[in-house]
Amino acid sequence: MELPLPFRERMKQMLGDEYGAFLESYDRERSQGLRLNLLKTGREEFLAKTSFMLEPIPWVESGFYYLPQDRPGRHPYHEAGVYYIQEPSAMAPAAYLTRQMEDGAGERILDLCAAPGGKSTQIAAAMEGRGTLISNEIHPARAKILSENIERMGIANAVVTNETPQRLAEHFSEYFTRIMVDAPCSGEGMFRKNEEACEQWSTQNVELCAHRQDEILDCAASMLAGGGRLVYSTCTFAPAEDEGSIGRFLKRHPEFYVEEVPLAEGMSHGLGELSATIRLWPHKLRGEGHYVAVLRKEGTLADGGSGLLKNGYENGI
């Protein structure tokens, strides 16, 4: 694979001595994963009866690496929604969004950029059929795919919407307890998985994505209740779209702060002042490139926003 020269130059500057190991990761076969749908099967129950050769993914209890020859996408269990085939690193953001959630009964959760549904279905499994999940996708064709996956996974407490973030923000002021923003990005972390993303990459697109991310995050901020959690993620390495987007956001929204969370095996801290955010590097773990920032809005869910929750969440989630 021929990586764009400006991309290589920037990555060499970012990684220093690790740059060689980073380049070598592109010559390795990428890891593939599936995530069990805990609404339809239990972890131990599935492991006892499957013929797949599975290895646990460190950052999500229901996630497993599988061997390509297993071909789980062709198994009837896939069509029945027993599991969701998902890139391993992409399972991390929803795991952080739903951590320390005892049950979903009092939750109103928004997945703002939800198609094709990997993160929404993971969030729904953690909610265990309780509360309300809004899964939004701005593009109609992708919203249809999202709806099909929500249905296949047997999720009964989700509503699929096809709206702009701005339109949603007009109607859901400080409404949600948790928001997932898996932002549209330049896709640098997916070059190994998707060569088309590499061919379409440009420095101009990085700047365009960063601007779009600012707009999306501002909408998300207005929809999150006081004391709520917002998880921002991308599948790019670009600092302008990762720590840059979060740094700009925190300056515009001083009512937010980065939440300290534990890192799973193989994960790395973010760059510079935003070291409390998370980077997933393909030369350090079995997965593609990802960035995750866990944010908290000041206040408490008991009295934040519209005062939606009255169930003892004053001490945080």
- Taking the C-alpha atoms of residue 254 and residue 251, their distance in angstroms, rounded to an integer, is 6
Closest CA to 216 of 124, 300, 138: 138
In this structure, the number of other CB atoms found within 10 A of the CB of residue 303 comes to: 15
Q: In whole angstroms, what is the distance from residue 289 CA to residue 267 CA?
A: 10
**Cis, peptide link before residue 116, omega less than 30° from 0:** yes
Q: Helix, strand, or coil here: 180?
A: strand
Q: How far is CA 176 from CA 42, 55, 280, in A?
A: 29, 35, 27
> d(Cα 83, Cα 63) in Å, to the nearest integer?
9
Alpha carbon distances (Å) from 191 to 22, 113, 300: 12, 21, 40
Rounded Cα–Cα distance for residues 270 and 293 (Å): 9
* Measured distance CA(209)–CA(187) in Å, rounded: 10
Pick the closest to residue 246 from 316, 202, 183 (CA basis): 183
Catalytic pick among 198, 209, 219, 235? 235
Q: Say whether 113 is catalytic.
A: no
Side-chain-side CA neighbours of 230 within 13 Å: the count stands at 32
Q: Supply angle C-alpha 88, 179, 186, rounded to 5.
A: 55
At residue 225, what are phi and psi to the nearest 5 degrees? Answer: -70, 155
26 is written with which tokens? 């592109």
Residues forming the active site: 235
